[in-house]
């Protein structure tokens, strides 16, 4: 089957109104119907039900390749941030493109190992609260690098490695006191945040680590936050890290890696700019301060790889009016997509089949018994009827991975579209699935 010929592309190049005739819905013209690659989203909702997460494989591959091109002149390893989207089908796709992984828990590491045990050699273990059991799993698996967040963690890793008669390669995550200019919940690079070690204290910790025979000092790590669109923040933090690397080398430490972290943001509203230009500017900001240092760069993108690849399909259950306030009550809820409730995050919402040109101002809300269960407030949308399908855009990152069973709701199914092929990568969760581990 040939790729779809799209008549109008939306924010994501993988989404467009119009597509392959053989997949069109009877009675609906191609330019009215929303497609992901060569597949009509309406057909996916009919086949798999709603709420339903849909991901574009082509877009994920394209973004991974864009990173490779942008950093081709620099020795580097891209370690996809598993916390952005940890569904095994997504991890398998990422691994197939040759990427490594950044994990923040033993559970995430086990997901990576389930996809490909050999991938452990390109795994960076981050996070502020690693347990001894998690450290043991990582050491036995042979991961590439531990990012150390505190003196206590350093001591525990040294003891765990000694017990297993292994040596752990480490970088210390430094806190550069640089503002990420992002939402305070996802900013991590200032002194008031729980992450990292102040740069001035890091030298003492490196000296202590060098005296431990079970630890091997190999790098410096930094991560200042998430959803960052000002690349100047990345450059400022890397300038401070580069100065630290020079100092550490003068003190005799063999620093081979700089872990630049992740955090590159995406646009959630307005025109979708060129990712090639964005990633190019990011690459220049990160690499400029490192010239002449002969380092291997570790990158930990998550959101920027998978965010725009995903949509959440949801069906309108009811229209409701309270005085002059209008509501669309849909079958997806905050347990499916938490970002609007948690951060007040904006996600564009579009009809799966374009109908009325009349515009209304309405709230799009879920069925959960919380006022905070909403996807949009006072949003201008095409006039929508009960039973219509809506697509919530840019949910590939921090969407399904933040799902819960609140109100005993099952997690949504997830499908991966690859051209005209569709694969279920997570089955819809039933009430029986939820109760299986509980005692009566």
For the annotated catalytic residues, the residue numbers are 369
Interatomic CA distance for residues 55 and 57, integer angstroms: 6
Beta strands in 57-184 (DSSP E): 76-81, 100-103, 123-125, 145-148, 168-175
Whether the CB-CB separation of 35 and 15 falls below 8 Å is answered with yes
By DSSP bridging, strand 197-198 and strand 168-175 are parallel
Question: Which tokens is 351 given?
Answer: 């009809």
Burial group, residue 117, by CB count within 10 angstroms (0-12, 13-18, 19+): exposed
Interatomic CA distance for residues 414 and 45, integer angstroms: 11
Question: Which tokens is 280 given?
Answer: 């190019």
Give 363's strand partners: 327
Question: Which tokens is 288 given?
Answer: 């400029």
Interatomic CA distance for residues 204 and 178, integer angstroms: 21
Interatomic CA distance for residues 14 and 35, integer angstroms: 8
Interatomic CA distance for residues 147 and 172, integer angstroms: 5
Q: Is the dihedral of CA 108, 113, 115, 120 positive or negative?
A: positive
DSSP letter string over 330-357? Answer: ES--TTT--HHHHH-----EEESB----
CA dihedral of 323, 329, 335, 337, whole degrees rounded to 10: -100
List helix spans (H) across 165-308. Answer: 199-210, 231-250, 275-287, 303-306
Among 397, 394, 365, which Cα is nearest to 381's?
365
Interatomic CA distance for residues 336 and 350, integer angstroms: 18
Interatomic CA distance for residues 305 and 224, integer angstroms: 18
């Amino acid at each position: 089957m040939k790729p779809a010929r799209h008549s109008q592309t939306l924010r994501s190049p993988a989404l467009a109104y119009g597509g392959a005739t053989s997949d069109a819905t009877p009675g609906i013209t191609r330019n009215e119907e929303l497609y992901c690659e060569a597949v009509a989203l309406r057909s996916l909702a009919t086949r798999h039900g709603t709420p339903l997460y849909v991901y574009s494989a082509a877009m994920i591959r394209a973004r991974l390749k864009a990173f490779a091109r942008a950093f081709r002149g620099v020795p580097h390893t891209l370690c996809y941030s598993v916390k952005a989207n940890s569904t095994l089908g997504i991890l398998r796709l990422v691994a197939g493109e040759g990427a490594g992984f950044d994990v923040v828990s033993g559970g995430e590491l086990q997901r990576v190992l389930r996809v490909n045990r050999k991938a452990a050699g390109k795994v960076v273990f981050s996070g502020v609260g690693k347990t001894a059991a998690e450290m043991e799993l990582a050491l036995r698996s042979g991961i590439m690098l531990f990012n150390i967040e505190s003196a206590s963690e350093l001591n525990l890793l040294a003891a765990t490695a000694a017990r297993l008669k292994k040596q752990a390669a480490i970088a210390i995550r430094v806190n550069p006191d640089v503002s990420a200019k992002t939402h305070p919940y996802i900013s991590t690079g200032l002194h008031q945040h729980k992450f990292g070690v102040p740069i001035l204290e890091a030298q003492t910790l490196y000296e202590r680590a060098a005296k431990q025979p079970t630890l091997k000092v190999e790098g410096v790590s930094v991560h200042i936050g998430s959803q960052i669109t000002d690349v100047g923040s990345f450059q400022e933090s890397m300038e401070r890290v580069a100065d630290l690397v020079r100092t550490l080398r003068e003190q005799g430490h063999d620093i081979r890696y700089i872990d630049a972290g992740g955090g590159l943001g995406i646009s959630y509203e307005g025109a979708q700019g060129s990712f090639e230009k964005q990633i190019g500017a990011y690459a220049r900001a990160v690499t400029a301060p490192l010239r002449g240092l002969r380092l291997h760069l570790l990158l930990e993108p998550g959101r920027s790889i998978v965010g725009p690849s995903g949509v959440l399909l949801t069906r309108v259950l009811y229209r409701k009016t309270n005085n002059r306030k209008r509501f669309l009550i849909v079958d997806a809820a905050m347990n499916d997509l938490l970002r609007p409730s948690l951060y007040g995050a904006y996600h564009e919402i579009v009809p799966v089949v374009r109908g009325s040109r009349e515009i209304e101002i309405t709230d799009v809300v879920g069925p959960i018994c919380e006022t905070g269960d909403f996807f949009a407030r006072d949003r201008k949308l095409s006039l929508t009827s009960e039973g219509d399908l809506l697509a919530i855009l840019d949910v590939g990152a921090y969407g399904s991975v933040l799902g819960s069973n609140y109100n005993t709701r099952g997690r949504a199914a997830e499908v991966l579209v690859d051209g005209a092929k569709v694969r279920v990568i997570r089955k819809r969760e039933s009430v029986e699935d939820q109760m299986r581990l509980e005692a009566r």
